C-alpha cells in the first residue's frame, strides 16, 4: 500500500501548505485550493482502485517480462453449466491450458464442473466466494472470511488450496489489501481485458483482443458468455498462426498455484 500512503501523505502536506499560506498571506485561495486538492486526490484514488495494474494498494502480476512469443489465457466468474463445459471442450480440442478464477458460490452449486476443470489440468484461482456488488465495501475481516470460504469450498471439491487471487471486478482498496496479505495470496491481474461480458459480436471481439497480443500477455476472458464460446477457437487459431504458444498462467508468470 506504499502508493496509497504516499498519496495520502502528499494530500495532507498540500492541505497543511494551503493552511500556512492562508495564515501568512491570504485566505482567499483556501477554499478553491481545498476543492482542487480534493478533486485531484479523488481522481488518483479512483485510478488506483479501478486500475489493478497500478499496484496502488497491492502488487498485481499482470504480464510476463519475456520476448518469447508466449501468452496465457484466463477465465473469470465460473464455473457455470451454460458455458464452462463448452469452454473446456474447446480448450481440450485445441490442447490449451488456462487458468480459471472461480467464484465460491458457483463452486458450491457446481462442484462437478470445478472437478472437470481441475481434471483437465487447468489452474484454479480464487475470485472470492460471493463476488457481490457490495464486496468492495466490506471490512477487511469480512473480506478475509470471504476469500477463505472460497478456498475452503475449493479444497473440499478438488483437494487443493489456491494461492492465486484475482479481485472481483479488478477493484482493490486498503481493506482488500489487508485481506490479501493476511491470506498469503499472490494477486494476478491481466494485460489484455477482452471486455467479452459486454461484447455481442464475436468478430469484433476477436479483432480487438488480437490487436493487443504481445509476448508475455495475460488475457482476461469469462466462461459466462456465449460470445466467448464462439470467439475462443478463432482466437486460439489466430494467435497460433501468429507463432504464439499459449502456456499455463502459473508457468509464464513463474508462480506456485497452490499451497
Residue that is written with C-alpha cell 491481474 in the block = 189
Which is the catalytic residue, given 76, 77, 146, 196? 76
Kindly tell me the sign of the dihedral angle through the C-alpha atoms of 83, 89, 92, 93: negative
- CA-CA distance, 236 to 210, in Å (whole number)? 10
Beta-bridge partner residues of 102: 126
Whether 82 contacts 229, CB under 8 Å: no
201 is catalytic: no
67 CB burial (10 A radius; 0-12, 13-18, 19+): exposed
Whether 73 contacts 96, CB under 8 Å: yes
Whether 138 contacts 175, CB under 8 Å: yes
- CA-CA distance, 155 to 176, in Å (whole number)? 22
C-alpha cell at 36: 482542487
CA atoms within 13 A on the CB side of 247: 19
203 is catalytic: no
Neighbours of 250 (CB within 10 A): 20
Phi-psi label, residue 184: left if phi above 0, alpha if psi -120 to 50, beta otherwise: left
The gap from C-alpha 156 to its chain's centroid, in whole angstroms, comes to 24
Helix axes 226-241, 202-210, angle to 10 degrees: 40
Which is the catalytic residue, given 106, 127, 131, 222? 222
- Which residues are the active-site residues? 76, 222
Amino acid at each position: 500500500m506504499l502508493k496509497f500512503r504516499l498519496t495520502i501523505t502528499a494530500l495532507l502536506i498540500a492541505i497543511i501548505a494551503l493552511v500556512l499560506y492562508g495564515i501568512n498571506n491570504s485566505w482567499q485561495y483556501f477554499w478553491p485550493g481545498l476543492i482542487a486538492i480534493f478533486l485531484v486526490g479523488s481522481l488518483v484514488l479512483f485510478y488506483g482502485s479501478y486500475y489493478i495494474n497500478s499496484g496502488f494498494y497491492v502488487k498485481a502480476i499482470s504480464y510476463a517480462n519475456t520476448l518469447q512469443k508466449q501468452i496465457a489465457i484466463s477465465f473469470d466468474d465460473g464455473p457455470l453449466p451454460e458455458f464452462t463445459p463448452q469452454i473446456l471442450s474447446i480448450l481440450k480440442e485445441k490442447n490449451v491450458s488456462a487458468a480459471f478464477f472461480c467464484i465460491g458460490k458457483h463452486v458450491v452449486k457446481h462442484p462437478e464442473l470445478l472437478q472437470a476443470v481441475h481434471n483437465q489440468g487447468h489452474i484454479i484461482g480464487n475470485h472470492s466466494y460471493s463476488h457481490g456488488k457490495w464486496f468492495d465495501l466490506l471490512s477487511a475481516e469480512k473480506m478475509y472470511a470471504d476469500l477463505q470460504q472460497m478456498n475452503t469450498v475449493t479444497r473440499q471439491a478438488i483437494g487443493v488450496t489456491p494461492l492465486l487471487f484475482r479481485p472481483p471486478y479488478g477493484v482493490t482498496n486498503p481493506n482488500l489489501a489487508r485481506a490479501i496479505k493476511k491470506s498469503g495470496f499472490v494477486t494476478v491481474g491481466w494485460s489484455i481485458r477482452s471486455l467479452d461480458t459486454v461484447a455481442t459480436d464475436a468478430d469484433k471481439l476477436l479483432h480487438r483482443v488480437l490487436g493487443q497480443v504481445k509476448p508475455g500477455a495475460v488475457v482476461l476472458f469469462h466462461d459466462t458468455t456465449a460470445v466467448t464460446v464462439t470467439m475462443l477457437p478463432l482466437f486460439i487459431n489466430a494467435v497460433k498462426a501468429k507463432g504464439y504458444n499459449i502456456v499455463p498462467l502459473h508457468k509464464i508468470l513463474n508462480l506456485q498455484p497452490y499451497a
